Structure 1
Amino acid sequence: MSAPKLETISADRLMSEQLPVPKSVIPGLLPTGLTLLAGRPKLGKTWLGLNVSIAAAEGSSVLGREAGVAGDVLHLALEDGPRRLQDRLRVILNGRPAPSRLAFATSCPTLRAGGDQAIREWAASVPDPRLIVVDVFQRIRAKGEQNTRLYADDYAAALPLKDIADKFSCAVVAIVHARKGDAADDPLDAVSATTGLTGAADHILILDRSRDGVALYGRGRDVAEFDLALKFDPHRGQWLTLGDKAEVGRSDTRNAILAVLRDAAEPLGPTEIAKRAGLDQGVVKKRLADMTAAGEAVKLSRGLYATTVTSVPTVTSVPPSLSSGRDEKECDGGLKVTEETEVTDIGEDAARCPKQAQHRTRERRRKVPA
């Protein structure tokens, strides 16, 4: 018996090949291939799966992204009966017709007991299989062999769905559970399995909730890494994107700090700001530095901060010889604060006269002539 030979291709020939561009069911979110969607129980994975299935079958949008071309979709709702599934669809569709290219099944054999073949037969029977959603993967996952390693078992369990995605050039989304606790080192560690499962998949989506809200993290072979802040609308049954998680979190933190500084009767230090805003002190210190550089806040003496949009007296640079006869208080460096000035910006000069910068007044002011 002759030894098997490898089929090889040279680099120059490979580069000359005209290969098809991989399709994307939801551009920037869900390319073709096997995707794991992980999340903790009752967080909303099922709703998200339905949102994606309907968008792919209609060619509509989900999470702010257009599916574009409608296709055939198989959704295995293995934890929902027909009644609950109908109720969910009624909320999402909100009176519009149900997509005819979306097919549901509420039961399916395990992959080794005929489930693999049943899914393949469906894909072969429709004109354009675009998406297959398995909710949840555990229901059709084949039981592992005895004495096999967990990594090998997880990897092997995902291969049938991976093969289906490759054969039919479609997307397969397997919904799995996430483990409790924070994945401090890598978001993919949240998947309740070994790295064998995540290693077999082409793409990973992690739906997670923290004190900052709900976010969807994504990473994969054919999609750029993203981390989106989400919000669920229970009246529409829709997950909505608020934008990039870092940007949304930064805006929320800045707004919280600004609100505290606006309401304060005097400039505050980072510790007190963090306490009043309910934020981490380290986060507040870093954000204050950014806000100071951006001109949203000014740092006074002794580590105290005020916001440049708070109504406090303006410190105006005037010649020391200027005498207006009004209520003025002189600071070092020839700076004067007048009770007749309307303040919308403290400015850098406030750091040289912090006591006057702390003074507040609600009377109407007039600008001092320079």
Structure 2
Amino acid sequence: MSRRQATKSRVARFPKKRTDRPKASNKLTTFTASDLQAMEFPPLEFVVEGLITEGLTLLAGKPKMGKSWMALDLAMSVAIGCEALCDRACKKGATLYCALEDNPRRLRRRMIQNYGDQTSWPENFHFSVQLKKLDDGGLDQLEDFIEEHRPSLIIIDTLVCVRPKVKGKNEYEADYAALSPLQKLAGEHGIAIIVIHHLRKMSGEDPLDMVSGTTGLTGAVDNVLVLDRKSDGVTLYGRGREMENIDVAVELDDGLWRVLGDTDSVRISSERRSIIDVLQNAGKPMGPKDIADALKWPQENVRQLLLSMATNGEVKKPRRGKYELP
């Protein structure tokens, strides 16, 4: 074969690229500030008022703190449309609680303890104790459930049970990839999904830093709730992309969580109660130093609180530097 014939044969096998064929657009999509000003968006939808919005929420707490009790109460409250945590109004809708570390016997016992052996529990409250890993069919299972039942709330308890086994990625990328499919799923269907997770053993100044794993987990979700026990009680702290920060004192009483109020208000109220108890037990006027010694508190803190309590009429000063109950 001549060189010319060989060249023609190669051209026939590899024809020149057509220039008249439309190209796929790779142009960056943008909008102007003026366009943004004219846009209108529906108000943020709360499934649980001031606490759970549409989107993905990560609820983290230390082991045996009662996260599963809280998850059960949230799911039940939304299913029947009553107040959750004895304080927060709920938007009624179907719910799914994936209790992946439990079994039907234990779930039934918890339901009876909290809500009694009623003649009928809500039919729109669904349970599951089995869910595949998200990258091994679990995401498809959730999407099928959403298509069939149109739930308002899905709870997955816990993340470790459905977390994909990601290889070839650093820890941040692996953490982000673990939750981003659920965040996308919640956004596409306009529902709330809560994933239960754990906290580190070490405490931190920022509650979000206590979430086990890298910041990839907290970065992939819409909201983060941290259930933390401190010396003065249990706090539920929350932060989200669109909702206001949450910082409330909560209490677990025989399987049911309840909101006591803003953490600062509850703590101050508790401190005042402690001072009143000391004065009551003493049965005589006491000075700030004596009260501080009895409570093992800083004297200046006690002095300032006594001044405030005296103004409010909670204590009185029979003489200079001494306080007693009215």
TM-score bracket for the superposition, by shorter chain length? 0.7 to 0.9
Count of residue pairs the alignment pairs up: 300
Select which of 198, 211, 217 maps to 1:177. Answer: 198
- Listed as ranges, the matches of 1:246-265 within 5 Å are 246-264=264-282, 265=284
Name the aligned partner's letter for residue 194 of structure 2. V
2:36 equivalent in structure 1: 14
Report how far residue 246 of structure 1 moved. 0.9
1:306 equivalent in structure 2: 323
Select which of 239, 256, 267 maps to 1:238. Answer: 256
Report how far residue 269 of structure 1 moved. 3.2
Report how far residue 294 of structure 1 moved. 4.5
Report how far residue 257 of structure 1 moved. 1.3
2:27 equivalent in structure 1: 5
Q: Is 1:269 aligned to residue 288 of structure 2?
A: yes
2:301 and 2:137 map into 1 onto residues whose CA distance is: 53
CA offsets 1:205-259 (integer angstroms, 9 cap, x no match): 111111211221111123211211112221xx31111111111110110121133
Moved more, 51-60 or 219-228: 219-228
1:114 equivalent in structure 2: 137
Cα distance change, pair 260–167 in 1 and its aligned pair in 2 (3 A): same
Q: Which has the higher contact order (CA 8 A, sep 6+)?
A: 2
How high is the TM-score relative to the length of structure 1? 0.75
Other structure's SS at 2:287 match: coil
1:297 and 1:145 map into 2 onto residues whose CA distance is: 67
CA offsets 1:2-30 (integer angstroms, 9 cap, x no match): 67222112222223233222321011111
Q: Is 1:66 aligned to residue 89 of structure 2?
A: yes
1:47 and 1:208 map into 2 onto residues whose CA distance is: 15
Q: Is 1:25 aligned to residue 43 of structure 2?
A: no
CA offsets 1:12-54 (integer angstroms, 9 cap, x no match): 2223233222321011111111101010101100000000001
Report how far residue 192 of structure 1 moved. 0.8
2:79 and 2:299 map into 1 onto residues whose CA distance is: 47
Other structure's SS at 1:129 match: coil
Other structure's SS at 1:248 match: helix
2:298 and 2:57 map into 1 onto residues whose CA distance is: 35
1:6 and 1:159 map into 2 onto residues whose CA distance is: 23
1:123 equivalent in structure 2: 146
Q: Is 1:140 aligned to residue 186 of structure 2?
A: no
Verify the 8 A CA contact 1:288 1:297 in the aligned structure 2. Answer: no
Cα distance change, pair 305–4 in 1 and its aligned pair in 2 (3 A): farther
Other structure's SS at 2:56 match: strand
Name the aligned partner's letter for residue 54 of structure 1. M
Q: Is 1:199 aligned to residue 219 of structure 2?
A: yes
Name the aligned partner's letter for residue 172 of structure 2. Y
Other structure's SS at 1:65 match: coil
Aligned-pair identity in percent equals 37
Name the aligned partner's letter for residue 175 of structure 1. I
- Listed as ranges, the matches of 1:348-367 within 5 Å are none
Name the aligned partner's letter for residue 68 of structure 2. T
CA offsets 1:87-129 (integer angstroms, 9 cap, x no match): 1111222233311111111011111111111111111112x32
Verify the 8 A CA contact 1:233 1:239 in the aligned structure 2. Answer: yes
Other structure's SS at 1:49 match: helix
1:365 equivalent in structure 2: none
CA offsets 1:130-164 (integer angstroms, 9 cap, x no match): 11100001110112323x22112111111011011
Q: CA RMSD in A?
A: 2.1
Name the aligned partner's letter for residue 34 of structure 1. L
Report how far residue 73 of structure 1 moved. 1.2
Verify the 8 A CA contact 2:59 2:195 in the aligned structure 1. Answer: yes
Other structure's SS at 1:124 match: helix
Verify the 8 A CA contact 2:288 2:303 in the aligned structure 1. Answer: no
Name the aligned partner's letter for residue 106 of structure 1. V
Name the aligned partner's letter for residue 171 of structure 1. A
**4+ long deviations beyond 6 Å:** none
Cα distance change, pair 299–140 in 1 and its aligned pair in 2 (3 A): farther
More helix by share: 2
Cα distance change, pair 246–116 in 1 and its aligned pair in 2 (3 A): same
Report how far residue 200 of structure 1 moved. 1.1
1:279 and 1:95 map into 2 onto residues whose CA distance is: 47
How high is the TM-score relative to the length of structure 2? 0.85
Moved more, 169-178 or 90-99: 90-99
2:270 and 2:116 map into 1 onto residues whose CA distance is: 31
